[in-house]
Amino acid sequence: MRLTRAVLLIADISGYSDFITHREVSLLHAEQIITELLEAMIDRSEHPLVLNKFEGDAALLYAESGGDPVAVVSDVLAQLRAMFAGFAVCRDRIRESRSNCSCDACAKISNLELKAFVHCGEIAIKKIRQFEELAGEEVILIHRLLKNQVPERDYVMLTEAVAAQWPVPADRARRHIEQFEGVGELALMLLPVSALPERPTSGS
């Protein structure tokens, strides 16, 4: 086990609970669709961002921030923007390819959205057999953020620790205060994905 500072990211598909039904065909199609969407998001990520694991309809990723946390935070946020784009492209493609299926899952593809949570701090990385597990208070905190009262289903939520490392565009951000069980009151920033930085293209 080792301790390291890292940027934590959870990308969570909104509308999953309403999307899943107990009917066999719908459930099978729903899981296939969610899997494709998760894979499309992960395909847009790259070093230093690492996939730790899938958690149902969400993905937990992290990037060790080393000696340049400002650069790593900016890069993770830029990758997150690309992940949102990958999600949207994949959702549209799946909706088109499944337009002839009348099951609940295929009929509700357009209702699926993406929200993301970004935090940073010290974490523990440990190996349990062939699995890599993230642990520590910061890992607990980012998971607490999923249980919030934000009504929108398509947004990016940053903690103050992340906002301190990146120049949040004041005209695009909304301050959000919320109480979380076991954590207390947190001041957070809500952003549309369009406010995130873009990764420089090759040769720029």
**Structure confidence by residue, pLDDT tens digits, 18-68:** 666 556 668 889 889 999 999 999 999 999 999 999 998 999 999 999 889
Q: Which CATH superfamily is 2-195 part of?
A: Nucleotide cyclase, GGDEF domain (3.30.70.1230)
Q: What does 98-156 look like in DSSP terms, one character per residue?
A: TTT--SHHHHTGGG-EEEEEEEEEEEEEEEETTEEEEESHHHHHHHHTTS-----SS-E
**Structure confidence by residue, pLDDT tens digits, 125-181:** 999 888 899 999 999 999 999 999 999 999 999 999 999 999 999 999 999 999 998
Please give the pLDDT value at position 67: 82
Please give the pLDDT value at position 24: 65
pLDDT tier for residue 104 given thresholds of 50, 70 and 90: confident
Domain range summary for the chain, segments of one domain joined by +:
2-195
pLDDT tier for residue 204 given thresholds of 50, 70 and 90: very low
Helical axes 24-42 vs 69-97, angle rounded to 10°: 140
